[in-house]
Amino acid sequence: MGQITEIYNALLETTTYEWTETRHTVEEVAAWLGRQQESGRPVLVAVEVDEVVGWASYGDFRDSTRRPGYRFTIEHSIHVREGWWGHGIGRALMRGLAEHALGAGKRVMVAAVDGTNERSVAFHARLGFVEVARMPGVGEKWGQRLDLVLMQHDVGQLVASLAR
Ligand X SMILES: CC(C)(COP(=O)(O)OP(=O)(O)OC[C@H]1O[C@@H](n2cnc3c(N)ncnc32)[C@H](O)[C@@H]1OP(=O)(O)O)[C@@H](O)C(=O)NCCC(=O)NCCS
Please report, as ranges, the residues that interact with ligand X according to CB under 6 A: 11, 17, 78-80, 85-91, 111, 113, 117, 119-120, 122-123, 126
Distance CA 30, CA 126 (A): 32
CB of 32 to ligand X, least distance (A): 16
Is residue 67 within 8 Å of 73, Cβ to Cβ?
no
Q: Name the residue nearer to ligand X (CB basis): 15 or 25.
A: 15
Task: Compare residues 89 and 98 and give the one whose CB is closer to ligand X.
Answer: 89
Closest CB to ligand X among 71 and 87?
87
Q: Which is nearer to ligand X, 67 or 85 (CB)?
A: 85
Q: Which three-class secondary structure state does DSSP give residue 107?
A: coil
Q: How many CB atoms neighbour CB 100 within 10 A?
A: 20
DSSP strand pairing (73-80 vs 144-154): unpaired
**Dist CA 12 CA 147 (whole Å):** 17
Which residue's CB comes closest to ligand X?
90
Task: Please list, in sequence order, all residues whose beta carbon lies within 8 angstroms of the beta carbon of residue 125, skipping any fewer than 6 positions away.
Answer: 131, 151
Residue 88 beta carbon to ligand X: minimum distance, rounded to whole angstroms: 4
Q: How far is the CB of 49 from ligand X (least distance, A)?
A: 17
CB of 105 to ligand X, least distance (A): 24
Angle between helices 2-9 and 26-38 (to 10 degrees): 110
Least distance CB 13 / ligand X (angstroms): 14
Looking at beta carbons only, is 79 or 153 nearer to ligand X? 79
Side-chain-facing half-sphere of 120: CA atoms under 13 Å:
23
